[in-house]
């Protein structure tokens, strides 16, 4: 959040609100900070169609050799939706699941001798 007071920039404002499932306010933040692994890809965008700031949900995972735990995206999304001048936290977004796979058969079934990257599989040596 960037605003100007007497011509000078002011960073942060108490506009990011987190509520529980009953609507009770848990926290109000002036700014958001996300720390994640340098090896991970984190995405945050404003989606005009949904009227949301949407970003990757992060979970803790063991780091590489010699490093401590780190945060990585888990494939789900959360965000903030503008309501009455404040951005209210949305815990999970796009939570729908499918009963059936989106394709009738697995895509790789017709690839004989290739792995998921399209490379030729190495033949196993007989012992």
Q: Show me where the domains of the chain are located.
A: 6-94
Q: pLDDT tens, 14-62?
A: 888 987 767 777 888 888 889 988 888 999 999 998 889 999 999 998 8
Only one residue has tokens 């007071």, namely: 5
How much is the pLDDT for 69?
87
Q: What phi and psi values does residue 107 have, to the nearest 5 degrees?
A: -65, -35
Q: Are 75 and 41 in contact (CB under 8 A)?
A: no
Asked whether residue 7 carries a pLDDT value surpassing 70, the answer given is yes
Helix (H, G, I), strand (E, B) or coil at 92: strand
Averaged pLDDT for residues 100-114 = 65
Q: Which residue has the higher pLDDT, 56 or 122?
A: 56
Q: How many CB atoms lie within 10 A of CB 16?
A: 19
Asked whether residue 114 carries a pLDDT value surpassing 80, the answer given is no
Of 55, 90, 97, 61, give the one whose Cα is nearest residue 76.
Answer: 55
Q: Where are the beta strands (DSSP E) in 16-100?
A: 16-19, 25-29, 44-47, 52-61, 70-83, 86-93
């Amino acid at each position: 959040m960037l605003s100007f007071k007497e011509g000078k920039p002011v960073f942060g404002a108490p506009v990011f609100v987190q509520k529980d499932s009953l609507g009770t306010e848990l926290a109000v933040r002036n700014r958001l900070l996300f720390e994640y692994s340098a090896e991970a890809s984190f995405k945050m965008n404003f989606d005009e169609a949904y009227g949301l700031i949407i970003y990757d949900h992060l979970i803790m995972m063991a780091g590489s050799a010699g490093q401590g735990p780190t945060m990585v995206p888990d494939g789900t999304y959360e965000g903030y939706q503008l309501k009455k001048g404040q951005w209210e936290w949305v815990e999970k977004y796009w939570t729908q699941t499918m009963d059936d796979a989106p394709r009738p058969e697995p895509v790789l079934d017709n690839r004989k001798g290739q792995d998921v990257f399209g490379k030729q599989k190495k033949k196993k040596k007989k012992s």
